[in-house]
Structure 1
Amino acid sequence: MGMFTAGHGITVFAESRPYEVTRHRHPAWKLVLPAGGHVTVGADAGAGAGAGVLVPPRFEHGCGTSSGFVAVFLEPWRVPGAAHAVRPVWLDAARTRRMRDALGPQLDGAALRAELAAFAGPPTAVDARVRHAVRACGGAARLDEVAADVGLSPARLRTLVRTEVGIPLGTLRQWERLRTAVGALVEGGTDIAEAATAAGFADQAHLTRTVRKLVGRTPGSLRRGGLDPHAASGCRLQPDERRGP
């Protein structure tokens, strides 16, 4: 299968083989960087194929690759124009290679963000209370407690996030919880029900619905049992020219 790592503002998922996901809509920018193959995005608008692609938040689409790949998810404000972006941005082979090289085998998020900023522009300025609220909403954190931390009522905090980012806080809250659950599944030692509870989901079914809705996969497809040992060790993924979707 692949590997997963997450930190403030960035989530990286890698597969050492071609893969396809069903239609979904995530609240983050998604950068797909195939290892020598191509990526295909299927949607009513913005469909196409290319060496790499940058998919905007809340763009509903299916996605597949013809080789191993790295998918990078970034907070909405990391790329300018999230609230108004309506279709994917395609990358040529040279740009895709530069971004993969910037990320490197050690998954250097700072270097990748610098390369992305050179391509798309610097991150959008966003209220510090928004950044804190989004990052604090993962796990079982209560919304009223998060709002109190930044000196706002829950209603005012929701309005601020929607105004600044263009995405409901509830959706971003689901995304942060999903990152926590996926990390537990990929790292191993946790079953799906335990991962769901630890991340603040009501139950396993709730987690399953959320994974399908936001990333187009099932929790079972993310479990450690199928991990590729080279990907998990942090080695650079090698091109795989088998045909995919």
Structure 2
Amino acid sequence: MDYCETPPPPGLDDFVAAIWMLDVGGEPGDWVDHRAVPDGCIELIRRHAGRSIWRTEQPPLFVTGLALCPAVLRFSGDARFTGIRLWPWAWHALGGDRCAGFTDDWRAVAEDGPLSTLLNDAGAQLTRLAAAFAGRPQHPIAAIRHIDRTGALARHSGLSTRQVQRIVAHETGMSPRSYLRLLRFREAVAAVQGGATRLADTAAASGYADQAHMTREFRALGGLSPGTARRRSTGPFVAAHEEPRMDG
């Protein structure tokens, strides 16, 4: 499986987490299972070839909601995708449905709607996204990506704690604490995939009390241990075969 990811340029990163491409790299008759883990983002996805299944067959253009648990996906060997990873407030700014309405689920996106134009032309995603978000001010809670406490976010934004709670609930469908948990897990998954740091050090750097705490969160949110994620992950995907009993 060939996966590559392009980070957004400065100024667009308040809205877009990444643009990615995935080529399963097999034959049409081959099917592979992979697990996608929560990352606190909305995924707008165009499938250029092949087939994909998450519970039911997916259309060529669809969006996946915020995930609270791992999703086991099936791809045909010839499947190819381009995806845009959006922060929830960016998805809503583009006119997307409320996140609370399709948590741990996906929805078809109309081919004749404005969202489809973001993924119509190969290589033009950044240009189209820059145009879509041009002139928009920073969202009041965009700094939650870098701030790990509700009180600190309130001070940074100049809002009250209660206002921050309401805005986060409106944009994500969950409390600040629950959404921050997803972002902490996202950071830890990225660090674990890097592979150069001891798991105990990754746990400390990601804000977990210790490695055991991080392992519990990996199992709760990702359905696997940090060691397994390190061995089997490719971008946001993890090979979905049986996990060994011993953590790495």
SS at match of 1:85: helix
Amino acid corresponding to residue 78 of structure 1 in structure 2 = A
SS in 2 for 1:129: coil
Residue 63 of structure 2 is aligned to residue 54 of structure 1: yes
Partner secondary structure for residue 176 of structure 1: helix
Distance 1:49 1:160, change over 3 A: closer
Task: Give the aligned partner of residue 157 of structure 1.
Answer: 164
Alignment CA distance shift 1:211-1:59 (3 Å): closer
TM-score, normalising length: structure 2: 0.61
Question: What are the Cα deviations for residues 205-232 of structure 1, in whole angstroms up to 9, with x where unaligned?
Answer: 4334444554555533543x6688xx9x
Q: Which has the higher contact order (CA 8 A, sep 6+)?
A: 1
Give the one of 118, 128, 132 matched to 2:139: 128
Structure 2 residue 50 is matched with structure 1 residue 37: yes
TM-score normalised to the size of structure 1? 0.61
2:209 maps to 1:202: yes
How many aligned positions are there?
209
Q: CA RMSD in A?
A: 4.3
Report whether the alignment pairs 1:89 with 2:112: no
1:89 alignment partner AA: R
Aligned 8 A contact 1:15 1:68 in 2: yes
State the shift of 1:199 in Å: 1.4
Deviations 1:56-107 (A, max 9, x none): 22586542322465554321122222345335223699x99983854x4xxx
Say which structure is richer in helix: 1
Q: Percent same amino acid among aligned pairs? A: 23
Tell whether the 8 Å contact from 1:55 to 1:88 is kept in structure 2 after alignment.
yes
In the other structure, the counterpart of 1:64 is 74
Residues 226 and 83 of structure 1, relative CA distance in 2, 3 Å threshold: closer
Alignment of 1:96-245 (within 5 A): 99=119, 102=122, 104=123, 110-111=126-127, 113=129, 128-132=139-143, 134-137=144-147, 141-214=148-221, 218-223=225-230
Secondary structure (helix, strand or coil) at the match of 1:64 reads: strand
Distance (whole Å) between structure 1 residues aligned to residue 198 and residue 80 of structure 2? 26
Assess if the C-alpha contact under 8 Å between 1:34 and 1:65 holds in 2.
no
**Cα drift, residue 113 of structure 1:** 3.5
Secondary structure at the aligned position of 2:58 is classed as strand
Tell me, what secondary structure is at the counterpart of 2:85?
A: strand
Match of 1:50, SS state, is coil
Cα distance change, pair 72–62 in 1 and its aligned pair in 2 (3 A) = farther
Task: Name whichever of 169-178 and 203-212 sits farther off.
Answer: 203-212
| Distance change (3 Å), C-alpha of 1:188 and 1:3 | farther
Instruction: Name the aligned partner's letter for residue 34 of structure 2.
Output: E
